[in-house]
Chains A and B, each alone.
Chain A
Amino acid sequence: MAQLSDDTQTPQGDTAPAALPGDGLREGIVDTLRNDIGEALLDTLLKPNDDLWVRVSTESWLATGQALKAAGFTYFCFLSAIDWMPSPFGNSQDDPDDEPKQIDMTIKQGYTGGETRMQVFARLTDIDRHVGITVKADVADDNQVVDSWSQLFAGANWHERECHEMFGIGFNNHPDLRNMYLPGDFEGYPLKKDFPLLARMVKPWPGIVDVEPMPDFEEAADAPAAEAPAGAIEGAES
């Protein structure tokens, strides 16, 4: 690939930065990844001028990490999980005196789809080519375990500990899955959607008032939202 020149290696940082990445570069990355892991690459999404998402099979989670690291994604950004189940408690923004709303509990995954309620996702960056990638993988509902990246990226160690504690996802071959924040005997996984936020249960959120429609909402939406005050454009160019 033409973009892979070594000109970006500037230890003193006094030369011009490399050009920002184009979508052609991202397409090339998807092709490289498909070469490396083949059928395990389940879905990809490339938003023009924005970002790249890929979803891989659970079994190839570790192989994907290895392939991406070999392809230049050496900078580990983060690793976490998403619970795609809608919260059975709603968003706690409704007036407690109203009739409780019927909550649609169908699980709908986000970009690049998926089949399971839980997904792990991670972000890696290629510092030389100035491009990032978000990798997702399903986590089976009956066996919430994926392979650990901690041997591959040392920084994944803490992120997996946090993910295990907050979502209850296990990581194969992780050296030390102790809790980071909570006491060791804490029950439940706080970031799962079916874990209630007890503070909201006992006292409704006073910020409810913010989201009530204002009486003049219709007119306000048509008018410009804000004008610069006349006295405040000091220092303006024109």
Chain B
Amino acid sequence: MTLTDRQQLSYIASQAADARLNVELETEGMTLNIGPQHPATHGTLRIIARLDGEQVVWAEPVAGYMHRGYEKLTEVRTFPQVTSLINRIDWLGSFANEVPFILAAEKLMEIEAPPRAQVIRTILFELSRIANVSLFLGDLGVQMGAITPVFLAFRDREYILNLIEGATGGRFHPNFDRIGGLKDDLPKGWIQETKGAVKKLEEFCDTIDDLLFGNEIFQSRMRGIGVIPADIAKDYGLSGANARASGIDWDLRRDQDLPLSYDLADWKVWTHPDGDSWARCWIRLQETRESCKIVGQLLDQIPAGPVMTKVPRIIKVPEGEAWVATENPLGEMGYYVVSKGDLGPFRVKIRSASFNNISIVPWALKGVYVPDIITILASLYFILGDIDR
């Protein structure tokens, strides 16, 4: 059926009238549902966004598709068994999850790991940060349609994962940290290999700096988008690179006294005054470089000695409460451990970084345009297991 000119004109006129009416009455808008299965959500996070035209007027993340109840499960485990659970909170940097819990248990028992174990712990901690954040840097490109960086990231992260596997026996879930020290010493030749891998990761950072951060499209999609001021960031409890990108000079590696060996290395805490998506990504790039520096320096300073202090075979942790937080790849991760003198903890409150970091999404997405939803989410950087626990 062909339309006459008159019919076509009347159709156009009616559309125009509708458009005018919509402007005057404010459109009803639409609801855009992102996820739970969307590449930008790194797993199963669902974002509900109500739109007015191209603008978000209201947005809310829906978590809980992966809630595993770790806080309940820790109450029926012994202290050494808990590490195999909490490994799986932030699965990209899993060794880093074990450290604060073990430190909290050690604090309650009033013991400290031997110096050699402390340095190796710090090295493995920073290696898991590199493994975690390098994948973030590669993934950034994918969020904007650039495929190449993610292949580079997966290729170079493999060097780090191989090292972690070489030292601990597990690629993703090392379960290597013990109350009082480490399970084993480093294998022979590991230190030399690590030095080589760290060099490769430094080259990777330079490549990403050129390829992504120097890219005009990347900059225009990131600069000035999703700005979070410092006071809002503190209000929501943003931590890690997200806080430092808002100009908050706060790094738990430097600003608290823990039995880890960060003071042996010469490194720097980067902050950025802008608070936009670009700043958050840039801080993470600089942090990966700093981590490479820390690892490189600590490898030359591993003292001799045992890797395990004297602990009883059956570990009973004395009654008390302890809070230990460390600067994990995603931000401040802490455990509030309550012990009643039993084999297992009485209550463990897991404060994970992503839970707070993603609770700012309703605030941060208000008023942004639809394509920016993805880049803001990507720059806030969350791991699903770290939100849901």
Contacts and interface: CB of A to CB of B under 8 A. Distances in A.
Contacts of B299: 235
Contacts of A17: 254-255, 269
B54 interface: no
A233 B304 contact: yes
A86 B271 CA distance: 45
Nearest to B189: A234
B202 interface: no
B334 interface: yes
A17 B256 CA distance: 10
Contacts of A180: 63-64
Contacts, number: 194
Interface stretch (B43-51, B128-136, B178-186, B213-221): B178-186
Contact of A158 (B250, B305, B334, B359): B359
Interface string A61-85: 0000000000000111110101100
Interface in A1-39: 8-14, 17, 20
Contacts of A77: 237, 325, 332, 334, 351
A123 B349 CA distance: 11
A50 B191 CA distance: 34
A221 B312 contact: yes
A95 interface: no
Contacts of A224: 306, 310
Interface in A151-186: 153-155, 157-159, 166, 179-182
A51 interface: yes
A80 B349 contact: yes
B306 A227 contact: yes
Contact of A225 (B234, B273, B311): B311
Contact of B314 (A82, A127, A158, A217): A217
A82 B64 contact: no
B355 A158 contact: yes
Nearest to B355: A158
Contact of A127 (B250, B309, B349, B356): B250
B355 A228 contact: no
Interface stretch (B12-20, B74-82, B146-154, B372-380): B74-82
Contact of A234 (B188, B254, B314): B188
Given A87-B75, A154-B232, A13 B268 contact: yes
A192 B302 CA distance: 45
B351 A207 contact: no
B63 A226 contact: no
Nearest to B315: A211
Contacts of A228: 116, 185, 304-307
Contacts of B268: 13-14
B186 A232 contact: yes
Interface residues of A, number: 73
A13 B271 contact: yes
A132 B323 contact: yes
Contacts of A108: 340
Given A158-B359, A221-B313, A226-B307, A236 B302 contact: yes
B210 to A, nearest CB: 24
- Say whether chain A's binding surface is mostly helix, strand, loop, or mixed: loop
Most buried by B among A13, A92, A154: A13
A20 B305 CA distance: 29
B347 interface: yes
Contacts of A197: 72-73, 75-76
Nearest to A16: B254
Contacts of B307: 226, 228
Contacts of A232: 185-188
Contact of B338 (A12, A93, A110, A235): A110
B321 interface: yes
A76 B319 CA distance: 27
B301 interface: yes
Given A50-B107, A134-B323, A211 B343 contact: yes
Contact of B76 (A82, A92, A226): A92
A191 B71 contact: yes
B158 interface: no
Interface string A194-238: 000100100001010011011001001100111111011111111
Interface in B172-215: 180-181, 185-189, 191
Interface of B: 63-64, 67, 69, 71-73, 75-78, 80-81, 107, 116, 180-181, 185-189, 191, 231-232, 234-237, 244, 247-250, 254-257, 268-271, 273, 299-314, 319-323, 325, 332, 334, 336, 338, 340, 342-344, 347, 349, 351, 355-356, 359-360, 363, 388
The 10 closest A-B pairs by CB, nearest first: A226-B308, A236-B304, A181-B64, A181-B67, A155-B237, A155-B236, A232-B185, A92-B76, A76-B237, A78-B351
